[in-house]
Each structure stands twice: as structure tokens, then as C-alpha cells.
Structure 1
Amino acid sequence: MDVDEMKLIKEFGDSTPLPDRRQLRPGRNRLIVAAAAERAGSAPAKRSWGRRWAWPTGMTVGLAAAISGVLALTPAGEVGGGAPVASAEAAQVLHSAADAALKAPFTPPRPDQFVYTRSENVYGTHESWSSVDGTHDGRYAQYGEEPGTHPGCRDGKAAVYKGPEPVPGEFEACTPDPSYIPDLPTDADAMLAYLKEPGHTRDPNSAYHMGEAVRNLISRQYMRPESRAALFEAAAEIPGITVVRDVADPSGRPGIGISFPSSDGTPQMLIFDRDSYAFLGTEFEARMEYAIVDQVGQLP
């Protein structure tokens, strides 16, 4: 390369504005997919770019620099673990999770029963007994502290608790908060519309907040297999989702993650078993047990 060519490349670079993260992400994801395929020994088929992508010889260096910039300027992973890959693969993982959900055994709970959940996070173990219909007093116990009460809502009133005991004669206005809603949508389009309703998401046009709505629903609701499958299928429609490989839930179980877009770097991820695609939890909380029991304090 002579001096004039080097000068041309420098002028080209100086006059070209750097792309932002949003512009870099698609190219970076394609590079990651290609690299993963090459490591696996099955490189993707070559794509014919046509004449308009034929770069002058001197420009190939600039292109290489641009690709390096893609890798340097974009974070290696938005939420941790391995690097994200293309969203088409993320959708396929969610489709597989939906198939797995449909195979799960299910018996509709009675209104007077409780949803028992045991989960783990960085602070320790959390247990809860949540009323199926929201009218019965539930309980939670976490991190070795004294158990607390989830007051049930009956006739628009909930008891006020001070410590483990209710305050005699004191109530507050409420509406029941059931842990099982039998008529949740059972297809992806209806579920997506449900998630976009006021009260279910802070912004239906934000992929981040839609991801938040998905996580909230699966974390707080005991669902029929058809509704759980519909939730995963609906999540597959959220733009910008990516696969994050080689992750582990907070209990240390290995899994495969689905990351939702984030504007501020806050991680949001669903984690599934690598083989069965069973739901394991989120980046914050690992779901260890999840079952229906007859009374508070009872274990499955």
C-alpha cells in the first residue's frame, strides 16, 4: 500500500461518522452467528452480495476496521453469559419452550388452594403460599427471616397485619389478587394483546417493557399449559430478543437464556433448560419448586 492509498483510507475514516449501537447490533449478530457456525464446523452458505457490494481494494482495510469497530463498540453480551445471537434463533428457543409447556401435567386448582413457590436468588431462599383466588391469607418466608402474611381480600377488605398477627378491627380497601387466572389467553396473538393492556405493561410500544410484562406474568401467575405456551409464543414476537448461551440461573443450573432489549443496560432474561426447554427462572430468581397445596405451610 502506498502513501496515497493510506491517505485515502484516513480521509475516508475521518469523514465517516461512527454508527450507534442500534445500527451495529444486526451486523454484530450476523458475525457472531457465522463465528459460531464455523466453530461447529458448519459455516453458513455464502451469500451473493452483488456488484454494489464490490469494494475497491483500498476500501477493504476500511471495511475490516469497521467490522473491528462493531466488535469493539458493542458489548459482548447485553445481560451476561455467552454472546447474544440472532433473534430468529431466540424465537425458535421460545417455540421449543412453548412445546415443552404443553407437555407439562396440569390439574386445575380449587379456589381455596394455594400456589407454593420455592425460589433462590443471591440473597437466599424464598418461599411463598399464594391464594389461588386471592381471598385467603397467604404466607411468605425469605432469607431466614420471620414469615410474613399475604392478607386475602374478602368483600373488598383485607386485614392489616403488624408482624405475624392482624391488628384487631383494622382493614384496608382491596381487590382480590388471584395467583391463578383460568381464562388467560391461549393463543399468541390474544396473549400479546393481553400483555399490551393498561396495567400489564408500562409501555406497549417498548420491547423492554413488553419483556418486563412477560417476566411478571410468568413469575406471578400459575397458568394452564396452553396459556404458558401462548406466553412464550407471544414473547417470540417481541422485536430484538436474542439468545444468550452458556448461562446459569441463580442456583447454578446451566441453561439457555432469552434476553430482552434494554435501553439502560438493565438485564432482563428468561432462562430455560438446555435440553428440555423447561422454564428455570430469570437472571434474578431461580424457580426450584412450583406446585398446588391445600393449606399454608404445606409442602408438595
Structure 2
Amino acid sequence: MNELDLLREWDADAPPLTDAVRTRVRFRLFQAMQAPTAPLSAAPTAIGRRPLLRIAVAAVAAAAVTATVVVAQNTGTSPHTQTVSAATVLRTAAAEERSHEMPIAPRDDQFIYTKEIIEETPVGGGRSRTYVDESWNSVDGSKKSYVSELGHTQWVPPDQPGQRIWPPRRWSQLKQLPTHPGRLPIALRDLVGKPDYGRPVTADEWPFVQFYLSGLLRQAVLPKGLRPAAFEALATVPGVKVLPGRTDAGGRPGIGIQYIGPPGTPWADGGRVLVFDAKSYQYLGMRDQRSAGGKTYEQWSYVAVDAVVDRVMQRP
């Protein structure tokens, strides 16, 4: 029996949760994830939250569907315009991913290595700063991981019995997620319980579905077909704004996608912006803001390298 089945069967004799209760529980989970993290000198139980928080809060970055924007393109002769929808961007990004993805099968005793570049500039002017964050995360959570965030490094203890994070670190759990873009949102909605593929996702469930989908996309390495499925599933989520004229850190032209949630949700004011190449729609990275010490910083981040390695501090 696998771990997701165990989770689904936990307290199986209890009456099922209503849609309203599910919504309240998910909202409280998001609030807990948004709570301030402890300093690096805190106890191990607090230290272990930072990687989860880093991955989880990025989930407000992207989603959805019918909104369009007129994008000016220079063909070398004269500019022309083309109407581009979020669905087109995300589905083309999925096709790009499928054409380039390299199937891997990491062992439980290995580590996922990531090298993330983060560039920050104070709002209103000031000196920019670049961080190079290298991390080694245990594939199955049974070993200590070594992670870096904005230059701060720390050891993260192994997963505790019953501990759950999103997205899962265990490769066996990721492999169980469906790679069909129509089934993936339902499987994520029904993480605790058997997926009911006969019941469509409701309006109040979509914000949290995009939260889980976007969290998956923050995972550096995924089983074959899962990342493109997540892109395509995001293309079905209501509530997206397409932002033309975006660029990556190198100045390459891009198109931004930002999720705007319904009033009363944590995403009502919008979230981070995913940036895609203006021509190929290949994913380039993320633009965001953060506040610290009374200052606000514009932030650009992207994963430069990801790989599977045998030990901490080993680089591909």
C-alpha cells in the first residue's frame, strides 16, 4: 500500500467534509503557510518550515483561462498585433516542456539539486543584489536536506512521521499524480480522500486548485508528463490576467500571467507574475515583491540548474 492511499484512508469512517468546510480548512492552511517564519537560529521544528513555505506561497503565481491581451510583435517589417490568451500561453508552454523534458527516476537515497538565481532591487531606487541559492533536498525526506534562501543556508531535518508538505518530496507520491490535465485538478482537490473524477471542480475550489498546481511547478524535478499536465491544467482555471511587455533579468521580451482570485480570497489582489518568452512561450521565471526591514524589493527569480545527485554538496 502506498502513502497516498494511507492518507486517503485515514479516518475513513468519518463523514465526508462538506464543500464549505473544505473551503474553510484550505483557507486556514494558507493562512498558516503565510505566517512569519522563525530566524535561522530557531529550533529545528521551525527551521523545517522554510522550504515548505518557500514552495507553498509561490503557488499564488499563476493560472488560467479566457483573458486575452493584444501583444505587439516586430516582424522586421512593420509591427502587427495578435490576440493572445492565457490558455494559449500555458498550453504552448506545456508543448515546449514536453519537447525538452528528460525523464528521470531518482532513487530514494538521492537528492534533488537546484541552483536558483534571485535578483532584487529596492523599490524607489537603490543598489541591486543577486543571490545564488543552491539547495540539496532529500528525494524521500528520510535524510537531512541542505537549503539556501536569499543567501541564508540551513540544514533541514528529515521528515517526521505523519509530516506532510506540498508539493510532496517523495518521488513515489509524485508518481501517483495523474498526468492527464483534466484529472490532475480533481486529484489535487481531493488530496485527502479518493478522487471523485465524476464531480467537476466548483467555483470556490478553483483558487485552491491553482494554489496546488502552481506549487507543483515550483518543484525543480517532476516525473515525466507531470509538469506539462500542470501547465495545461492551469489553462482551465478561471481568473487570470495577461500582462504584456514583461522582461526577464536579461531583458528578453516576455508575457506575464498573474492569477486574480475572487473577492474575499487570499488571492483577490493578485499574486506573483509568471513570465513566458514572448515568441516561444517557454517559461522564463517569476517576478515578485517582498518586504523586509521597512523596505519593499522588486524580485526576479529563476531556476538555472536542476539535477539529481547522490549526496549533499555534489553538483552536476
Q: Which of 97, 104, 109 is equivalent to 1:107?
A: 104
Structure 2 length normalisation: TM-score? 0.55
Indicate the SS of the match to 1:225: coil
Give the residue type in structure 1 aligned to 2:232: E
Task: Tell me if the contact between 2:189 and 2:208 (Cα under 8 Å) persists in the aligned partners.
Answer: no
Structure 1 length normalisation: TM-score? 0.58
Task: Tell me if the contact between 2:143 and 2:158 (Cα under 8 Å) persists in the aligned partners.
Answer: yes
1:87-127 CA-partner distances (Å, limit 9, x unpaired): xx210111111111112122211111111112133262322
Q: Aligned runs of 1:70-149 on 2, under 5 Å?
A: 89-103=85-99, 104-121=101-118, 122=120, 124-145=131-152, 147-149=153-155
Task: Tell me if the contact between 2:189 and 2:205 (Cα under 8 Å) persists in the aligned partners.
Answer: no
Task: Determine the C-alpha separation between the residues in 1 that align with 2:88 and 2:278.
Answer: 13
Gap change, CA 1:90 and 1:42, over 3 Å in 2: closer
Indicate the SS of the match to 1:224: coil
Gap change, CA 1:112 and 1:238, over 3 Å in 2: same
The structure with higher relative contact order (CA 8 Å, sep 6+) is 2
Aligned residues: 206
Indicate the SS of the match to 1:231: helix
Give the residue type in structure 2 aligned to 1:98: A
Gap change, CA 1:254 and 1:126, over 3 Å in 2: farther
- Name the residue aligned to 1:234: 233
- Name the residue aligned to 1:219: 218
Task: Determine the C-alpha separation between the residues in 1 that align with 2:81 and 2:253.
Answer: 25
Q: CA RMSD in A?
A: 3.3
Give the residue type in structure 1 aligned to 2:303: R
Task: Tell me if the contact between 2:135 and 2:146 (Cα under 8 Å) persists in the aligned partners.
Answer: yes
Q: Which of 263, 267, 273 is equivalent to 2:271?
A: 267
Task: Determine the C-alpha separation between the residues in 1 that align with 2:250 and 2:307.
Answer: 19
- Judging by fraction of residues, say which structure has more helix: 1
Task: Determine the C-alpha separation between the residues in 2 that align with 1:230 and 1:243.
Answer: 20
Task: Determine the C-alpha separation between the residues in 2 that align with 1:283 and 1:292.
Answer: 26
- Judging by fraction of residues, say which structure has more strand: 2
Larger Rg: 1
What residue ranges of structure 1 are gaps of 5+ in the alignment? 1-28, 44-84, 157-172
Task: Determine the C-alpha separation between the residues in 1 that align with 2:97 and 2:259.
Answer: 20
Task: Determine the C-alpha separation between the residues in 2 that align with 1:271 and 1:139.
Answer: 28
